[in-house]
Amino acid sequence: MSNPYLNAPIRTRMYSSTVHKVVWVVVVVASAGLLAPPLFFIAAKKRVVAMYVPALYAVFAWGTPIMASLVGNAKNWSGGVLAFTLIVAAVHAAILDTDWKAGR
């Protein structure tokens, strides 16, 4: 019987150290979530996440200000969407390597 955990392909680590992880999470938070798509693109290239994840972050993080400027009077919803995207991106960036096991 085949076990998917034993036969899983070896993945690279997303972060080389805890300091590296903290720096990326701080960068995502300090940039108000606007630098989340490049982080998740790197993660997708390392096969830590699927390739659609950086696309979704780009749509929400970069598309919200563009849509808000086109629609006008976006005070009611654009800040909420950006804050939600920021929180989700920071948490997602912090937990990217939690299931990583040496030799897997």
Evaluate whether residue 84 is within a structural domain: yes
Evaluate whether residue 50 is within a structural domain: yes
How much is the average pLDDT of 66-85? 75
Evaluate whether residue 13 is within a structural domain: no
Domain that holds residue 45: 32-94
Evaluate whether residue 53 is within a structural domain: yes
- Say how many domains are in the chain: 1
Which pLDDT does position 11 carry in this prediction? 59
Query: pTM for this one?
Result: 0.68
Q: Which residues contact 11 (CB under 8 A, 6 or more apart)?
A: 46, 47, 48, 100, 104
| Residue 54 pLDDT > 80 | yes
Q: Do 46 and 14 meet the contact criterion of CB atoms below 8 Å apart?
A: yes
Evaluate whether residue 72 is within a structural domain: yes
| Residue 5 pLDDT > 70 | no
- Mean pLDDT (the chain) is 76
How much is the average pLDDT of 42-53? 84
